[in-house]
Homo-oligomer: A and B are copies of this chain.
Amino acid sequence: MGLKQAIIIRSDLGMSKGKMAGQCAHASVSAYVLARARDADAAREWEEEGQKKIVLKVGSEEELLSLYERMKREMPCALIRDAGKTQLEPGTITCFGAGPAGEALINKYTKELKLL
């Protein structure tokens, strides 16, 4: 298996699909930047493989943070707080990006989650 990135987003905030897409893009870029700083070759490999990624949902901030704390011990993870200019209160935690990292490692943490 190759490399994969996971994006985990809260489904309990009433965000529009455009808002969710923007937050996921933010998480994806931020986690990629972290991963690239740690291992530029792996980041490039992920790009060349077509940037495999998966977008998953959780139902609360508590669930999001619990997963974030566990995953960040094993791979680069970027937690996103919304600037709050539209739709949400400033500082609302919306999602996080994890990896790219080994697909088996990503799956270990995400296999119980549902697709957004």
Binding site for B on A (CB under 8 A): 7, 9, 16-22, 24-30, 32-33, 47, 50-51, 53-57, 83, 115-116
Question: Chain A binding site: helix, strand, loop or mixed by DSSP?
Answer: helix
- Please state if B51 and A18 are interface contacts (CB–CB under 8 Å): no
With A28-B29, A51-B29, A51-B30: A20-B17 Cβ-Cβ less than 8 Å: yes
Given contacts A9-B21, A24-B24, 20 further A-B contacts (CB under 8 A): A7-B22, A7-B25, A17-B17, A17-B116, A18-B56, A18-B57, A19-B55, A21-B21, A21-B25, A22-B54, A22-B55, A24-B25, A25-B29, A25-B53, A26-B51, A28-B28, A28-B29, A29-B47, A33-B47, A50-B83
